[in-house]
Chain A
Amino acid sequence: MSEFHEKNVQEEVSELETKSATAARLFDIRRIIGGLFALYGVIVTIAGLTASDADIDKAEGVNINLWTGLGMLVLGLFFLTWLKLRPTAPPTPPVEK
């Protein structure tokens, strides 16, 4: 094929779709979000539990590390639970023509 034709564009994409490996091999992002936020949640919560008076005074009297840390932890656990309850669906086999 030396010269492309406008019609071939759509056929080319259809053909590539059948060879694509993303659906079968790409990991689930929920695992990463869940893991990272659980880890951040723990780190920031600990910073909150050990907060100095200066830290709390700075943040208008709120222990902002504690609250943000707990919030992030909850979000992380939410994603991990969601992943557990609804695991990645196995890819549907390509339709035979």
Chain B
Amino acid sequence: MQTPTYLAAELRLPTNWLDYTILAIYFLVVLGIGLAARRSVKTSLDFFLSGRSLPAWVTGLAFVAANLGATEILGMAANSAQYGVYTTHWYWIGAIPAMVFLGLVMMPFYYGSKVRSVPEFLLLRFDRSAHLLSSILFAIAAILIAGVNLYALAIVVEALLGWPLWVSIVVAGAFVLAYITLGGLSSAIYNEVLQFFVILAALIPITILGLKKVGGWDGLSDTLSAQHGGDFMTSWGGTGIGSDNPLGANWLTIVLGLGFVLGFGYWTTNFAEVQRALSAKNLSAAKRTPLIAAFPKIFIVFLVMIPGLVAAALVPKIGTAGSDLQYNDAIPYLMEQFLPNGVLGIAVTGLLAAFMAGMAANVSSFNTVFTTDIWAKYVKKGESDEYYLKFGRLITVIGVLASIGTAFLAQSFSNIMAYLQTLFSFFNVPMFVVFIIGMFWKRASVKSGFWGLLAGTVAAMVNYFWIYKQGVVDIPSDQGANFVSAIVGFVAGAVVMVAVSLFTAPKPAAELEGLVYGTRSAGMSEAPGEGDDAWYRKPALLGWGAVVLAAACYIPFSF
């Protein structure tokens, strides 16, 4: 996606005292949540994992909200303005199958084994070298991604409200720091749930007014088909192998690269997501976390795609030299065009909340991994729980300061969304391959985890920096290159794992109980909580329901 980062300077919103009042109320509530959650933090488990005690609807909404950062909202609207209805793939095939798989298949192993983090699972399944490597890779990725969110927030606020870059970075950083240091994961999750609803209140009016302006869906469809050709309004049109489309991807790379490797890599092994499910109060609630999240995820695509398409219809030259507007401006442009003061304040609040939540999700997963996986296991072993709780708070401060540093680093990249997807292909995909093989193949040996992870990460980086950037093979777009990197990283990791496993010792069967598919642990046979046997709480029904619904959503956009 060649979407430049900067928003057009003339998008300054006509905000007034009413909008700022709405924004100020939100910031006060955010701090209030942090202060009120503080008294619930007694142990390090409360701080890092909410004591494994939250209800499924809370962790489920936090699960979807942690992903619904503003980079996602602005980025996916930009994607739609540029590529049209292809954007639906990021949701219906790129997210739903992976979320359902996480809930139905993987969650018993994650939650049942009582691990506190994704790297900790690798420690139990493989060995310390796999554990340490994955912890360090994750910690680096989390800080880089938190920095991207912070920087993106700052440039949007600068364009829309006219605050200088450094003011927004420091203010947003300080608020995130305050509420996580005080209340830990509970306050991060509660703020995500709140943000989820505020973002809906911001996007729904924009979508409705935008559709009204262009004459409804039919009007929108006619205008854009005339401008860009009929494939622009379909999901699968022009994705045959060998045929040309603006995405630079065919149905096979979409299904394998986006749907399987990138999608599963992101949703099933990215700790910033999985952590929400691990904080659920019992196994049933943990399984339902990604499944409950899947339903809003299916429909959120309309709230980001339609504004993107409307912007493309209203400003036909958007994103090209013929217009001042960039693709990323789609949603801010509609806010400026349609929203009167009041709803405008809600929309600005929603965007800021989404940026802060995107950053907070990464900071709250970073401090957990850094404290429980790196510090407590390799640096300062065997200290009291109070010590690690205190250290967790300290490392949160350091994590936020480091994110401010990486925010200025993100400034040197011209395209934020592609930068983000590239980071995912480097860090999530290799982790996913190690997981999936480790979880489903008993014979995967102790040493294979480390080497598979290393090989996958290196291969994805080599593909991106050498084969794509140096032009060894011609790949038409950054997004297309990310799909290929993902597939390359996956294959390299898998091949190395199998090869290493054939020549090194497997883990004794007794140590694999509850970690490999087909085995059970004590945590898995936990009795369901009261009321969890109601039909609408059956994980299988929720999961398959989501898959069927997502598949059905494709039908009107396939012909």
Contact with A along B33-72 (1 / 0, CB 8 A): 1001101111111100011111000100000000000000
B190 proximal to A (CB < 8 A): yes
Residue B41 contacts which of A9, A21, A59 (CB distance < 8 angstroms)?
Answer: A21
B249 proximal to A (CB < 8 A): no
A26 proximal to B (CB < 8 A): yes
Q: Is the CB of B25 within 8 A of A51?
A: no
Q: Is the CB of A20 within 8 A of B377?
A: no
Contact with A along B186-221 (1 / 0, CB 8 A): 100010011001000100110011001100000000
Residue B197 contacts which of A13, A27, A37, A68 (CB distance < 8 angstroms)?
Answer: A37
Contact with B along A40-53 (1 / 0, CB 8 A): 10011001100100
Q: In the complex where A6-B124, A36-B25 touch, is A17 in contact with B342 (Cβ < 8 A)?
A: no
CB distance from B498 to the nearest CB of A (A): 24
A64 proximal to B (CB < 8 A): yes
Chain B's interface: helix, strand, loop or mixed, by majority?
Answer: helix
Q: In the complex where A25-B40, A33-B194, A62-B212 touch, is A20 in contact with B52 (Cβ < 8 A)?
A: yes
Chain A's interface: helix, strand, loop or mixed, by majority?
Answer: helix
Q: Is the CB of B36 within 8 A of A27?
A: yes
Q: Which residues of B contact A10 (CB under 8 A)?
A: 113-115, 124
Report the nearest A residue to B186, measured CB to CB.
A26
Contact with B along A20-38 (1 / 0, CB 8 A): 1111111101001100110
A85 proximal to B (CB < 8 A): no
Report the Cα distance A54→B376, complex, angstroms.
61
Q: In the complex where A20-B46, A26-B50, A64-B339 touch, is A33 in contact with B41 (Cβ < 8 A)?
A: no
CB distance from B155 to the nearest CB of A (A): 25
Q: Which residues of B contact A9 (CB under 8 A)?
A: 114-116, 120, 123-124
Contact-size category for A: 35 or more
Q: Is the CB of B342 within 8 A of A60?
A: no
Q: Is the CB of A36 within 8 A of B29?
A: yes
Q: Which residues of A contact B382 (CB under 8 A)?
A: 1-4
B21 proximal to A (CB < 8 A): yes
Q: In the complex where A9-B123, A64-B338 touch, is A22 in contact with B36 (Cβ < 8 A)?
A: no
Q: Which residues of A contact B9 (CB under 8 A)?
A: none
Q: Which residues of A contact B46 (CB under 8 A)?
A: 20-22
A/B interface sample: 22 pairs, CB < 8 A: A1-B382, A4-B377, A4-B382, A9-B124, A10-B124, A13-B52, A17-B45, A17-B52, A19-B385, A21-B42, A22-B50, A22-B53, A22-B54, A36-B26, A44-B343, A47-B341, A55-B340, A58-B339, A59-B209, A62-B209, A69-B342, A71-B204
The 5 lowest CB-CB distance pairs between A and B, nearest first, are A20-B51, A22-B51, A47-B342, A55-B340, A21-B42
Known: A55-B341, A64-B205, A65-B343. 8 other contacts (CB 8 A): A4-B377, A9-B123, A32-B190, A43-B342, A62-B208, A64-B338, A68-B342, A71-B204
